[in-house]
Homo-oligomer: A and B are copies of this chain.
Amino acid sequence: MRKICVFVGSRANYSSIKSVMKAVAEHPALELQVVLGASALLDRFGNIKDLVQKDGFRIDYTFFNIVEGENPVTMAKSTGLGTIEMAMVLANLKPDYVVVVGDRFEMMAVTIAAAYMNIRVVHTMGGEVTGTIDESIRHAITKFAHVHFPANEDSRERIIKMGEDPQYVFNVGCPRTDLVAEELEKDSAAELRNLFKDHGGVGSSFDLSGQYLLVSQHPVTTEFGSNRRQIEETLEALNRLKLPTIMLWPNADAGSDDISKGIRTFRERNKPEWLYVFKNLPTNIYIHLMNTTACLVGNSSSGVREGAFIGTPVVNIGTRQNKRLRTENVYQADYTADSIEEGIRHQLAHGKYKSDLLYGDGKSGRKIADILATVNPPVQKVIQY
């Protein structure tokens, strides 16, 4: 039995890898190991410990490694601490493969610990282009990874260009699409019935069958210092439209505090009746919101990825998703209220788009598990040129 260790560092991470975990757990030749760390355990960012267990997974290890401060120094220190913790976890779990998801800062900790300890690294969602610190992290992980599961063809080609051995680079589509596909078999209206009652949050509830906006804007780490202004422009655009709006709290990257403060101050000053803010939402609920919203606004990768499959109208703001492969559902805005407002009006006029399989067909998890059961990359990588 090959032991496959999956590290989950955040709620978003979990959505990106859950179908893989399920497929690995069900595969007769594979044994799943689950490690939770970083913001996956923090209430502030949506503690997923109970959720993971409720989904039927046994958690082998958990560790806290986020050094508080939410700035560039603590990003580095959290990674250092995570490396120390992960080294101990791996020394005890002794997996054959460690699955690293995406490109958040803590993923370098997992990658370094595994690679230095001669454990093969599996990377999902590599090869994409975004133009932030996440981009450097993603490509650096690629250079450590032994097996690559990019989410689309474009990314597969890029990974190979970077010198990786093509026989270990597999375009299996995006595992997030698996969840989306599964979820969309249900009735969105029914799933969202108790949204405001069940998920906390603050603001006045409204009728979801009408036209409403969904907003998810995260800090841009390389623009540390500008995040406060950026969210303020978004809020200004929203304030002009005054459509019913659901907004999500930002993630834990450096700059998160600035965005949080921007939202808080806006609420105190403007007491916007049209705005409802959730700390976080279950992924499935989020998918149904993406399915029924008139427009998703912000810089979340979900707009570009899941949005393609669902056909969500998206206004993507600024540089965070720069160059990530996208389909026609995405309208690009810059960091001004005018540009954002224009984008939203454009999407309101257009309405929903039709589904695009650019990011997968909903069966990525099973494909990955099947490959992991048989692939045999050398521990000692060599660049292909």
Contact = CB atoms under 8 A, between A and B. Distances in A.
A223 to B, nearest CB: 8
A118 interface: yes
Contacts of A117: 72-73, 75-76
Q: Which of A77, A88, A382 has the most CB of B within 10 A?
A: A77
Tell me how many chains of this kind the complex includes.
4
A383 B108 CA distance: 19
Nearest to A380: B222
Contact of A68 (B64, B118, B221): B64
B116 A72 contact: yes
Given A67-B67, A109-B80, A139-B143, A133 B162 contact: no
Interface in A183-222: 202, 221-222
A85 B86 CA distance: 11
B63 A42 contact: no
B73 A83 contact: no
A79 B77 CA distance: 11
B64 A67 contact: yes
A312 interface: no
A381 B130 CA distance: 9
By size class, the interface of chain A is 35 or more
A113 B83 contact: no
Contacts of A108: 108, 112
B92 A69 contact: no
Interface string A58-99: 000111111111011111110111111111101110000000
Contacts of A87: 73, 76-77, 80
Q: Which of A90, A132, A382, A385 has the most CB of B within 10 A?
A: A382
A207 B18 CA distance: 54
Contacts of A132: 380
B69 A67 contact: no
Contacts of A381: 131, 135-136
A232 interface: no
A133 B161 contact: no
A371 interface: no
Given A76-B112, A118-B222, 11 more contacts: A42-B69, A62-B91, A67-B68, A72-B118, A75-B116, A77-B81, A79-B112, A80-B80, A108-B108, A129-B382, A158-B163
6 contacts: A76-B117, A80-B109, A84-B85, A85-B88, A132-B380, A162-B383
